[in-house]
Amino acid sequence: MVLVVVLAATAVAIARSDPRAIARALAGMSWGWATVAALINLIGVVIDAMRLRIIAGAAAPIPLWQALKAQLVGIVGNVLFPFKLGEGARAYMLTRGGEVSTPAAVKVVVADRIVDALVLPIFVVGISVLLPLPASVLRYRVWMLASAAAASVAIVAVGRHRARLTGAIGASLASWTARATILWCMLRAFDLALPLSATVTMLVIVNIGIAIVATPGNIGSFELASAAALALWNVPADRAFSVGIATHLVEVVPPVLLGFAVGGW
């Protein structure tokens, strides 16, 4: 039902813009920049797998390849199922080698999600010191600072796992940097010479949007959130939807194809 509502809202929003202009913008996209973005996205998947491996090491050491397979299969699961149910596939893949039990794998995946969610505000707080961000992003500053404080307390509190948590946070910072770079590349692919603060704005609003409305593969919610973010920078609706559609495809299609390959489907 949620997917139907989101898709309907997306269809109406696109129809109220200019579908032909969207098609023209997509046709004129720079494949060079899009290819760079796709490669950076795959690097980001490897970084996420490294974070997963670091966290899983608290239960049992696992090879990076196993963590990478879990990450890719989890992406496929999240495309096929709503409400991030693909995380269950990630946990299952972690148990395939026999080193990690099912309860431990579930805890690892939950911890991985928590770390990643906490680090985005830390990343944005750091960026906001260097770049002027719009009020629509800065109004979340209190939440961002609270997340940074929570992460700091956690590092102090975890005791013998302190180095592991610090490594996971570092990996997440690298991952969010990669995601921001993907958006920057895709803006260039559509010849949008916006400031770096626009990239961070888009990163924040898109991730809030897909967290609130968790459709399979974030279909519709990703595009709507992208258009909303770029509207703050006076990007026409047709160009904004084109960026959202192309970026979504760049972020989803390559890892999903790899996920099907390594998952044995």
Q: Is 168 exposed, middle or buried (0-12, 13-18, 19+ CB in 10 A)?
A: buried
Residues of the chain predicted below pLDDT 50:
1-7, 9
**Domains held by the chain: number:** 1
- Residue 73 in domain: yes
- Residue 235 in domain: yes
Q: What is the amino acid identity at position 96?
A: R
- Residue 186 in domain: yes
Q: What is the pLDDT of residue 214?
A: 66
- Residue 65 in domain: yes
Give the tens place of pLDDT for each residue, 64-78: 999 999 999 999 998
- Residue 15 in domain: no
* Domain membership of residue 108 as a residue range: 2-9+20-257
pTM of the model: 0.86
Give the tens place of pLDDT for each residue, 231-256: 888 999 899 999 999 999 999 999 99
Residues 6+ apart with CB under 8 A from 103: none
CB-CB contact of 184 with 77 (8 Å): no
- Residue 14 in domain: no
Q: What is the pLDDT of residue 59?
A: 87
CB-CB contact of 190 with 175 (8 Å): no
Q: What is the pLDDT of residue 130?
A: 73
- Residue 201 in domain: yes
- Residue 76 in domain: yes
Residues 6+ apart with CB under 8 A from 152: none
